[in-house]
Structures are given as C-alpha cells and as structure tokens.
C-alpha cells in the first residue's frame, strides 16, 4: 500500500519512512501560529462540471468481462507505487497497464477492487488518495501533500470522471481484511497489498487471473484503436522531426536523435513506449541498441525504432531504416528491398482467421530466399532446407512481430494457444517487423555487408476483412523514403 501510511488522524510525526523521505528536508519545526495560519484562507476548488472520461463506457464493459469470468470472487488490481530512484527521488510513475485498462485512471498507489455483489456480478470501487486534509497539516507537511505534488482530484470528482465509486485508499486495508470469500490479486505491483492478502490468495489462482487479463487485452475496442492510431500518427511526426535533425545529429551523436524523438513523445503523448533505439551504422545490427552514444555518419544507415506512448498509455512501435544522407547506396538498397519485400509479405498474411504465425513464416521465407540468392549459405542448401534448419536466423535474429497496446509487448501473459498458436481476430493489433543484420565481425558474409542492419516495423490492425496499417503515415518503400527525406530536409 505504498506511501499511504498517513491517515487523516495520524500526527505528521508518525509518518512512514517513505513519507518522511518524500518530505525532502522540509523544516518540521512548525509554530502553532503557522499551523493555524496554514489551515485557512484557501478557496473551495471542487469542480462540479466534470464529465466522464471518454473511455468510461469501455472500462465498464471491460470490468463486466472480468466480472463474468470470476463470479463470487473478490478481484484486486493495484496501480502500483512509486519506485525509488535514489533517496527521496522517484522514477516517473506509470501505473500497471491492467489497472489503467480497467479504470482509465493512472494514479499511483490506487487499487481497483471488484467485490462480489449479492445479486451476482461485482461492485467495482477505485481506492484512491483523496484531496489532502488541511486541518491536520497533511496538505503541506506530508510528502504526499498537494502543496508539493499538485492538486489531486477529490473522490467525488474521480467518481464523475471514472464512472465508478471511489473511496479513500487508506480505508483499503480494513476493506481487504473483511470477508472470507475467495480473492484474486494482480501481483507484482504493490507489495503492501500482497502482504495484506497473503493468507487469502494462492499463486496458481493469481496466475490464472493475470493470464485472463492479458488475454482480454488481445482484442482492442474502439477507444483503444483510436488511441493506437493517434500513437502512430504522433510517432510519424517524431520520425519527421528526426529526419530534420540529422545534420545536428551528425555533429553530435545518436543521443540527438533519441532526444529529438523524446521531445515529440513528451509533448504529444505521455512518454516513449519503450527505450528508443537510435542505431547508426553498425549499431543497427545490435537489436537492443539503447545506449545511443555513437556517431551518426554520412553514408551510413540509421535504424530508428521508436514509439510515442499516448496520454492514455497506448504505444506505437515503429522502425524505419534511413540513409543518413538521404540516399541509399546500391548495396544498402539491395538489403533494404529484401526486408521491404519480406515485410510486405508479412503484412499481406495478416487477416482474420489466419494462424498467428503465418506472417512470421511469410516474412522469413522471403528473407531466406534472398539470402540463398546472395550465396550466403553452403552450396546445396536450398530455401526449404534453410528454413527447416532455421539457418537464416543468423541474420534475421528475432521473431517477426508481437501484439501491441498498452504495453509494447502486449498480452505477454496470454497462453500460447490464444496467442502465437491461435488465429488472428479482428481488433488485434500487432507489429510486423522483419530485419536483416550483418554483424561487423561476421566472416561468413562478404565484407561490404558487414555492419549493415535493416529493420522495417509497422503496426497492423486486424480488420474484419484483412488489415489496416496504422503507421502507414510513414513511407516504407525505398524510393518513397528518399523522396520523403528530401522533402523534409528541403
């Protein structure tokens, strides 16, 4: 239960260690006169004009789906707590994706509880930290006080916004202590809640709960699709910013590219959805290149894998491999075109009813075919044999995609049979992202290939009759890339 040890009745001298840390050296010597002075003279800022958040109807339907699967059981979904960065400083908070999925809220320390109702179904309550108390000085003496952290919504305001009952999270321990029925908890986000429920939950049942939530999130509703669409559009604008910044990047480093994209993500969205990969030259062959401290050179390729996370926390996941000077060399283009062709085959395989693995197989077949044509395997190895033995993977390295949503690798707890071994269904959103990577020290490829890495990644929505490329706002084809770069740099 994180930091909410301070109750309205708790004198500030009896705060938890975490709360004390949050005070950041605040002078604790307070005269009676100052304490009295700070209680009064504040306007009533309660807002009575609030409308429900746009996704409130969707979050209610998602809660209904959860409720139907676990009748008669109390369900507990924490948002999670702040993580200490050092001493009294914290990482920027991001709530558990499942909590936000079910409430639309993003508040630290909050907890959603679905309590079984007498007449079936569940009553949902969001437990949240309310406005700071002014009488006991909490609002300015506590590390969680609104004077320091900013105004919070009152519980009544949150009820209007979220469309569900809200209660003080400091009453939660008591609420959880009551009742003897079965409980399921989303683990991994709130150690205090886990401790409080330790004698009421089992690992096996909680895992079943986590898996179900993950599988629910496979099919995106209209709100989620609109948000993913916006994430892709903002990401396209971030890529355009990067193209315009390439001269400065060549004078500095890959960090300039990372920073340029981050500016767009932070202004239009909440953050980046994952660490930006700004990989110039041979760094493009390192799949998780996030150090981004290398030089950006004329004549080389830049592999940029970046996604804007929206304010509702949905992320895009897009990769473009761009010639730093705006023109591919013939060899770069040859490798690029092979990846482009593989990606096109992969995208074409995305349609409802198709086995999930089809798009991966389609892309891998194209890549293996090109690698065989280029003479990179021993004589006698044809495409079928290469694919059977998986030999292309020396250069294709990773799977061709994954589901996308609130998490960049979304629905990660879904069972194999409902994800990689299941069929595609309308409303799923996935990346298609084949690549070819020739390491600098790979003696099995011609010297001129070494240090070239290419990936192209788009975000594909499965529709009723095929698919839609949500990131189609960015060009994919080599000529179009060059024309687009020339336009942006003009």
Are the CB atoms for 239 and 306 separated by under 8 Å? yes
Residue 230 to residue 308: CA distance in whole angstroms: 9
Torsion of CA 473, 476, 480, 482, to 10 degrees: 110
Give φ, ψ of 434 to 5 degrees: -70, 160
Judged by beta carbon, residue 130 or residue 259, the one nearer ligand GLY is 259
Which candidate in 266, 409, 415, 487 is catalytic? 409
Judged by beta carbon, residue 64 or residue 271, the one nearer ligand GLY is 271
Give φ, ψ of 177 to 5 degrees: -70, -30
Residue 403 per-residue DSSP state: B
Which candidate in 159, 407, 457, 458 is catalytic? 457
CB atoms within 10 A of CB 255: 17
In the annotation, is 199 catalytic? no
- By CB under 6 A, residue 227 contacts ligand GLY: no
Are the CB atoms for 211 and 186 separated by under 8 Å? no
Residue 121 to residue 119: CA distance in whole angstroms: 7
Which candidate in 74, 402, 419, 449 is catalytic? 402
**Residues 117-120: contacts with CB within 8 Å, 24+ apart?**
120/71
Which candidate in 99, 189, 340, 437 is catalytic? 437
Tell me which stretch binds Mn ion (CB under 5 A): 162-170, 174-182, 301-309, 469-477: 301-309
- By CB under 5 A, residue 305 contacts Mn ion: yes
Judged by beta carbon, residue 190 or residue 433, the one nearer ligand GLY is 433
- By CB under 5 A, residue 98 contacts Mn ion: no
Coil, strand, or helix at residue 405?
coil
Residue 245 to residue 261: CA distance in whole angstroms: 10
274 binds, among Mn ion, ligand GLY, none (CB under 5 to 8 A by kind): ligand GLY
Judged by beta carbon, residue 261 or residue 377, the one nearer ligand GLY is 261
Cα 69-74-78 angle, rounded to 5 deg: 100
One residue of 433, 453, 474, 485 binding ligand GLY per CB under 6 A: 433
The residue behind tokens 């179009």 is: 480
Window 373-412: contact mask with ligand GLY (x via CB under 6 A): -----------------------------x-----x----
How many residues in the shown chain lie near ligand GLY by CB under 6 A? 7
Residue 232: CB minimum distance to ligand GLY, A: 14
Residue 255: CB minimum distance to Mn ion, A: 19
Residue 155 to residue 158: CA distance in whole angstroms: 5
Which candidate in 152, 327, 398, 450 is catalytic? 398
In the annotation, is 305 catalytic? yes
358 binds, among ligand GLY, Mn ion, none (CB under 5 to 8 A by kind): none
- By CB under 5 A, residue 431 contacts Mn ion: yes
Window 303-342: contact mask with ligand GLY (x via CB under 6 A): --x-----------x-------------------------
Torsion of CA 348, 354, 356, 360, to 10 degrees: -40
One residue of 274, 295, 423, 469 binding ligand GLY per CB under 6 A: 274
Q: What does the block give as tokens for 202?
A: 């089992």
**Count of helices and strands (H, E) across the chain:** 18, 17
Residue 290: CB minimum distance to Mn ion, A: 11
- By CB under 6 A, residue 15 contacts ligand GLY: no
Are the CB atoms for 321 and 301 separated by under 8 Å? yes
Q: Which residue is nearest to ligand GLY (CB)?
A: 305
Coil, strand, or helix at residue 353?
coil
Query: Hey, which residues are catalytic here?
Result: 88, 288, 305, 317, 398, 402, 409, 433, 437, 455, 457
Q: Which residues bind ligand GLY (CB under 6 A)?
A: 274, 305, 317, 402, 408, 433, 457
């Amino acid at each position: 239960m994180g930091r909410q040890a301070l109750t309205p009745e708790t004198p500030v001298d009896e705060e938890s260690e975490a709360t004390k840390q949050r005070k950041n050296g605040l002078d604790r010597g307070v005269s009676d006169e100052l304490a009295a002075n700070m209680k009064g003279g504040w306007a009533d800022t309660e807002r009575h004009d609030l409308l429900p958040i746009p996704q409130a109807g969707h979050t209610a339907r998602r809660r209904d789906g959860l409720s139907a699967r676990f009748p008669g059981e109390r369900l507990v979904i924490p948002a999670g707590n702040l993580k200490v960065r050092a001493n009294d400083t914290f990482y920027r908070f991001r709530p558990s994706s499942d909590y936000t999925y079910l409430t639309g809220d993003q508040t630290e320390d909050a907890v959603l509880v679905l309590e079984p109702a007498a007449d079936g179904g569940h009553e949902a309550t969001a437990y949240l930290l309310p406005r700071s108390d002014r009488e006991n000085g909490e609002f300015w003496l506590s590390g969680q006080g609104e004077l320091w952290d900013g105004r919070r919504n009152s519980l009544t305001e949150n009820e209007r916004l979220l469309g569900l009952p809200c209660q003080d999270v400091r009453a939660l321990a008591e609420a959880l202590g009551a009742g003897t029925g079965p409980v399921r908890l989303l683990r991994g986000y709130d150690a205090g809640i886990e401790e409080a429920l330790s004698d009421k939950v089992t690992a096996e049942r909680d895992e079943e709960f986590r898996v179900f939530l993950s599988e629910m999130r496979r099919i995106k509703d209209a709100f989620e699709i609109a948000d993913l669409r916006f994430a892709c559009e903002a990401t396209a604008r971030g890529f355009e910013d990067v193209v315009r910044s390439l001269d400065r990047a060549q004078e500095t480093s890959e960090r300039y590219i990372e920073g340029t994209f981050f500016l767009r993500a932070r202004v239009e969205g909440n953050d980046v959805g994952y660490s930006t990969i700004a990989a110039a030259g041979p760094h493009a062959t390192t799949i998780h290149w996030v150090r981004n401290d290398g030089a950006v050179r004329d004549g080389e390729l830049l592999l940029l894998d970046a996604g804007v996370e929206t304010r509702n926390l949905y992320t895009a996941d897009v990769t473009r491999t761009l010639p730093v000077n705006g023109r591919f060399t013939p060899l770069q283009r040859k490798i690029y075109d092979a990846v482009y062709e593989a990606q096109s085959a992969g995208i074409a395989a995305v349609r409802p009813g198709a086995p999930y693995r089809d798009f991966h197989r389609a892309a891998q077949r194209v890549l293996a075919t090109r690698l065989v044509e280029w003479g990179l395997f021993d004589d006698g190895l044809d495409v079928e044999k290469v694919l059977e033995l998986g030999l292309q993977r020396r250069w294709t390295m990773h799977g061709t995609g994954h589901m996308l949503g609130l998490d960049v690798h979304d629905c990660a707890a879904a069972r194999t049979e409902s994800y990689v071994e299941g069929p595609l269904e309308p409303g799923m959103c996935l990346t298609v992202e084949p690549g070819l990577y020739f390491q600098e020290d790979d003696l099995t490829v011609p010297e001129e290939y070494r240090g070239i890495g290419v990936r192209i990644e788009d975000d594909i929505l499965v529709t009723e009759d095929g698919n839609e490329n949500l990131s189609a706002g960015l060009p994919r084809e080599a000529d179009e890339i060059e024309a687009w770069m020339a336009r942006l740099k003009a």
